[in-house]
Amino acid sequence: MKSLNLPKINKNLHHAYCILGNSEGIINELKTFLLNELDFPTVDNPDFWHGNFEVMDIEDGRAIKNSHQNKPIKGDKKIFVVSANFITEKAQNAMLKLFEEPRGDTHFFLVLPSLSNIIPTFRSRLFIIDTSESADSIINPKEFLQMSYGKRMDAVKKICENVSDEEKSKIEIIKFINAIEAEIFTHQSVLSPRLSASLEEIEKVRQYASEQSPSLKMLLEHLAIILPLTK
């Protein structure tokens, strides 16, 4: 399994992650990350919660929402880890507001096998990390951000030409968008205001890309133009 590539600066920890891949391996690596990088133990810690669901339904979502309202007991943050093979649409809708505006001291990690049943409005609130073997994006995101605008347009054309099947195109391009977002978060401590603002555009583009019959080429061209050049 690939490294989770989580931000390693406490103040930059995103409020809600979705990690795709093998649940057992991810949970073990995540616990190690929390302990070593954030000094947050997961054993005998009242501020750590881990739930494992075959199917997560609306009552489970409401229970997490209610538990989230309590302040940390032992430290300065609370962390929820939710492992699920399937999350119902009702459960996702129940947690929409929670994942959009959680308490500032609370962070969520969803561990899922895939995004296949995750609705776009819920997905847009998550920072997605794909650890599966097929997670490699078709163009290196770091190189893409360093390209001139002209070369980015050529890269977009190459992406769209290389993936012709509509559903496969959507999956590959969403992976590429996720990889761009992850690359930006890696350098969040030195982000320019323009680059920080572009994260909001990335969320919008990912949501549009998830909808039925999107113009993937137009969405990627939009990203190529609005993302500032990096070094």
Q: What is the crossing angle of helices 89-100 and 58-68, to 10°? A: 20
For residue 58, the tally of other CB atoms under 10 A from its CB is 16
Confidence of residue 102 (pLDDT cuts 50, 70, 90): confident
End-to-end CA distance of the chain: 28
Can you read off the two tokens belonging to residue 136? Answer: 């490699």
The count of C-alpha atoms lying within 13 angstroms of the C-alpha of 133, restricted to the half-sphere facing its C-beta, is: 0
Q: What is the mean pLDDT of residues 50-61?
A: 91
pLDDT at 52 over 70: yes
**Residue that is written with structure tokens 């494992």 in the block:** 52
Question: Which positions ≥6 away from 207 have C-beta within 8 Å?
Answer: 120, 121, 123, 124
Six-digit token string for 141: 């995101």
Helix count and strand count (H, E) for the chain:
9, 5
Instruction: State pTM to two decimals.
Output: 0.60
Provide the pLDDT confidence category of residue 48 given band limits of 50, 70 and 90.
very high
Q: What percentage of the chain exceeds 90 in pLDDT?
A: 23
pLDDT band at 1 (very low <50, low <70, confident <90, very high): very low
Q: Which of 162, 109, 106, 146 is nearest to 131 (CA)?
A: 109
- Contact criterion met (CB below 8 Å) for 179 and 137: yes
Q: What average pLDDT is seen over the chain?
A: 81
Tokens of 52: 């494992």
Domains and CATH numbers, the chain: 10-130 (3.40.50.300), 141-226 (no CATH)
Q: pLDDT digits over 122-176, tens only?
A: 888 888 887 765 455 667 888 898 999 999 999 888 877 776 556 666 767 777 8
- CB of 141 within 8 A of CB of 182? yes
What gap in Å lies between CA 105 and CA 128, rounded to an integer?
20
Sign of CA dihedral 219, 225, 226, 230: positive
- Which residue do the tokens 């794909």 mark? 130
